[in-house]
Amino acid sequence: MATLVKMPKIGLSDESAIIAKWHKKKGEQVKAGEVLFTIETDKSTFDVEAEVDGTLLDVFFNEGDEVPVLTDVGVIGSEGEDISSITIARGKPESQAATQRLQIPEDSIELEVPSKEKIEKAYPDLAEAEESGIIKISPRARNLAERAGVDFRFTSPTGPEGRIIERDILALIEKGPVFTPAAKEEYQKSDMDLQVSEGTGLGGRITTGDLQKNSEEQKVEKEASMAAKGLEKQETAQKSVIEAPQQALQYKEVKFTNIRKVIARNMMNSLSTTAQLTHHATFDATEILAYREKIKATGKKYGLENITLNDMVLYAVSKTLLNHPDLNAHLVGETMMVFENVHLGVAIDTERGLMVPTIFNANLKSLNEISREVKELAEQCRKGSINPDYLKGGTFTVTNLGPLDVEHFTPILNPPQTGILGICSITYKPRRVNGQYEYYPAMGLSLTFDHRAVDGAPAARFLKDLKTNLENFSLLLAR
C-alpha cells in the first residue's frame, strides 16, 4: 500500500519550508532511514528520511518550491502500484488528463493570443478583460493563480480555443513572476514594464519593494538614455578627450539566500521600529585573562570545558542582568514584559549567515555549563541542524567581534528585546599608578538599548556593574 510523504513540521512556529534538494528521484528504490530530501527554513536546513521501504512513485513538488508543513510532497509504494487515486485527490493532473482527453495536434488550431500590452491597454482590469472574452481562463486555473500570487496575463495558453488551464499557471509559477498579494495589487494598478522575474520575497516572490526598485531602475535607465543622447550631441560639436572603456565592467550577480533575506528584513525592521542608542565602555581584563590561563593549564584535570573569555562575559552578563530588569525584557507596543530569568541569545557566525541560539535560564547555570552549551549550540548552527525553537525566546543578546580585532561597534537590537551587548577586542591602554604610567589590557563593551524602554543612565549603570563584575571575576564566581 502506497505511503504519502509529508513536509515535516520542524519548529513550533514554522508554517512552510522550501525543498532544497531531492536525494532520490522518481522511480528510484528507497529504504527506511535513507535521506529522501533536504528542506530549508528561514533558519536552518534539515534532512528528511524515508519512513518505509519501497519505490519513490511520484514527487509533487520540485526543488526550490515552498511547501506548507504537513503537505504531501511525494508517495512511496510498490513498483508499478496504481496511485492515480492519490494524484487525482491532490488535484495534480488536470494538465495531463486534459491532454489525454483532447489529443489535439498543436498545429490544428490557429489562435491569435493578444499580447500582455494589448490586453492591459484595452482592459486594465482583469475582471473586465475576462468578461469581454479576450482572456479565457478555467475557474480552476484562476483560483490557482490567485492562491499562488501570479498574474495570469503572463501565461501562454495551451487549452482549447486559447483557454488558460491549470498547467499554464503551473508553468508560470515555475518560470514566471510570482507576486505577494500586495505587490500584485500594486502592479496591476501601475503601468510599469516589469523587468524582474524573481523577487526577494520567500520562494522568490516579487514584493512591493521589488516593484519600487524596478520602477526606480527604469527611471534611472530613462535618465541615462537621455543623458547619453545629450552626450552624443555634445561629442558631435566638440571631440571628447575621454575615451570610453574598451569593454563593459565585469561583475557577477549573487542572489540572497533565504536566511540572508530574513536577516536583511529583520535588520531593517529593527532600525525602523526602535529608538536605538549605544554606550561604549572598557574594563580591565587582567583578572579574566589570568583565569583563562588557569583554565588552559589545569582545566582538564578538574573536568572543565575549554572556557573562553567569551564564556566568562556571558556568565557575568547573566548574573548582572537580574539587577537591571528593564534590559532583560521585551517591549511589545507600550507594554514591557520583564522576565524572571535570563534567556541569553548568543550571536553565531555561520556560512549561511548570522544565527542567534538561546541559552535558556542562563542565570541558573554554572560557568562550565554555559561554556558547554554555547559550544553545542554553535556547532548545531554551523551544521544547520539546530532546532528552530532554540532560535527564539531570547531576552537579551550578546555578540562578540573581539576575535576579529574590532575595537568598538554598534550592535543592532533583536526586537522585541530591549538590549544587546557587543564584546570588543583587547587593547592596551595607559593609566597612572603611584605617579607612574603603566599599560593594562582593556576590553571594550558596546551596549545598544531601546531608548523607549531604557534611559541612558540606567543603561550606563548596567555597564558599570558589568565592568565591576568582570574586573572582580573570582568574587563573582564565589556568589
> Which of the pair, 124 or 96, is modelled with greater confidence?
124
**Is a pLDDT exceeding 80 seen at residue 347?**
yes
E strands of 31-164, at which residues?
A: 35-40, 45-49, 54-59, 66-68, 72-77
Predicted confidence at residue 107, as pLDDT, reads: 36
Of the listed ranges 292-296, 299-303, 349-353, the least confidently predicted one is 349-353
**Three cell numbers written together for 225:** 538614455
Cβ atoms within 10 Å, residue 14: 18
Strands 276-284 and 29-30: unpaired
> Which of the pair, 98 or 416, is modelled with greater confidence?
416
Nearest to 374 by CA among 339, 411, 348: 348
DSSP state of 135: S
Predicted confidence at residue 103, as pLDDT, reads: 37
Predicted confidence at residue 361, as pLDDT, reads: 96
Q: Of 10-24, 240-254, 295-309, give the range with the top mean pLDDT.
A: 295-309
Of the listed ranges 184-198, 206-220, 381-395, the least confidently predicted one is 184-198
Q: How far apart are CA 280 and CA 43, in angstroms?
A: 31
Question: Which domains are delineated in the chain?
Answer: 3-92 (2.40.50.100), 116-193 (4.10.320.10), 275-478 (3.30.559.10)
Query: Burial of 73 by CB count in 10 Å (0-12 exposed, 13-18 middle, 19+ buried)?
Result: buried
Q: Does the reported pTM lie above 0.85?
A: no
Of the listed ranges 41-55, 113-127, 142-156, 432-446, the least confidently predicted one is 113-127
Predicted confidence at residue 457, as pLDDT, reads: 96
Q: In Å, what is the CA distance from 203 to each residue of 56, 88, 121, 388?
A: 25, 26, 30, 19
The rounded mean pLDDT for the chain is: 80
Taken as a whole, the chain contains a residue count of 479
Band (pLDDT 50/70/90 cuts) for residue 251 is confident
